[in-house]
Amino acid sequence: MVKPSNSHAILQMVLHWTLAAAILFLFVSSWWMLSLPLPSDDHTYRVVPFQLHKNIGITLLLIILVMICLRWVRRLQQNAAARSALQTLADIDQWLIYALVAACCSSGYLSSSYSGWNTEFWWLIQLPAWARENDGLNILFSDLHQWSCWLLLLAIVLHIAAAIYHGLRDDALLPKMFP
Ligand code: HEM
Ligand code: HEM
């Protein structure tokens, strides 16, 4: 069980559930966002939901950087005991989640840049548009964005299945992420 004084464990837990809730929100809201009418002089419904989607996505990139640093600190503190095959599989799946979140964010950012739309981070900081408008590359990165999102969903399903397995075994793993 996490002790309240253990600020590292609490921060890890808060970031974990923020990441999980934000990813769920991005998936559910993106399908609604794409069903809105295309931008025109009369319809600008897409502008705010797209900016929100991009802001949350880029923030997730910062969150996983902090989570990776926390993980690194934790590993330094632990003694280098041999890890079981199951722990190694869990490590692979967790690194896959980190890599796929990074892939979703970079492909989304590049797709957005090639589509000619700016990204204003939380309506405060104008991020550089790395590229000029280019339909072909916009479609390519949009496809990569979609594929990396589906792969991320698959890695998350495996992760949740593993969490349920540990829950049924009632071992010490699940309480790591619950207060
Ligand atoms: C969108 C959903 C989710 C995502 C993206 C996600 C992502 C992650 C990541 C990246 C880690 C590694 C954390 C680290 O480096 O310390 C992790 C660990 C963990 N997650 Fe999740 N998670 C999700 C949902 C869940 C759910 C629903 C549960 C429980 C029912 C859960 C239980 C755990 C547990 C117990 C760990 C610790 C595993 C260990 O230390 O080996 N996760 N999760
Ligand atoms: C973990 C982070 C992210 C997730 C899970 C995610 C998820 C999604 C999903 C599921 C779609 C709908 C795909 C479709 O059906 O075509 C979508 C569309 C989109 N996302 Fe993301 N997204 C993330 C991050 C980002 C970021 C950081 C940006 C840009 C800075 C971005 C920009 C876009 C854009 C412009 C679209 C519209 C369709 C396209 O051009 O690909 N996304 N996103």
Residue 2 reports pLDDT greater than 90: no
- Cα(85)–Cα(175) distance, rounded to whole angstroms? 21
Nearest listed ligand to the Cα of residue 84 = 1
174 lines ligand 1 (CB under 6 A): yes
Atom of ligand 2 nearest to the CA of 141: 41
pLDDT mean over 142-169: 95
**DSSP label at 115?**
T
Q: Does domain 7-177 have CATH number 3.30.70?
A: no
Alpha carbon distances (Å) from 122 to 51, 57, 115, 154, 174: 8, 11, 19, 29, 34
41-79: per-residue pLDDT in tens? 777 778 889 999 999 999 999 999 999 999 998 888 776
pTM of structure: 0.92
Atom of ligand 1 nearest to the CA of 90: 41
The pLDDT value recorded for residue 79 is: 62
Give nearest CA residue, ligand 2 atom 30.
109
Give nearest CA residue, ligand 1 atom 26.
160
Provide, rounded to the nearest whole percent, the portion of the chain with pLDDT above 70. Answer: 95
Ligand 2 centre to CA of 86 (Å) is: 32
Predicted confidence band at 82 (pLDDT cuts at 50, 70, 90)?
A: low
Is 126 strand, coil or helix? Answer: strand
Ligand 2 centre to CA of 102 (Å) is: 12
Residue 149 reports pLDDT greater than 60: yes
Residue 5 reports pLDDT greater than 60: no
Nearest listed ligand to the Cα of residue 35 = 2
The pLDDT value recorded for residue 40 is: 74
DSSP 59-107: HHHHHHHHHHHHHHHHHHHS--PPPPHHHHHHHHHHHHHHHHHHHHHHH
**Angle, helices 85-114/47-77, rounded to nearest 10 degrees:** 150
Ligand 2 centre to CA of 31 (Å) is: 10
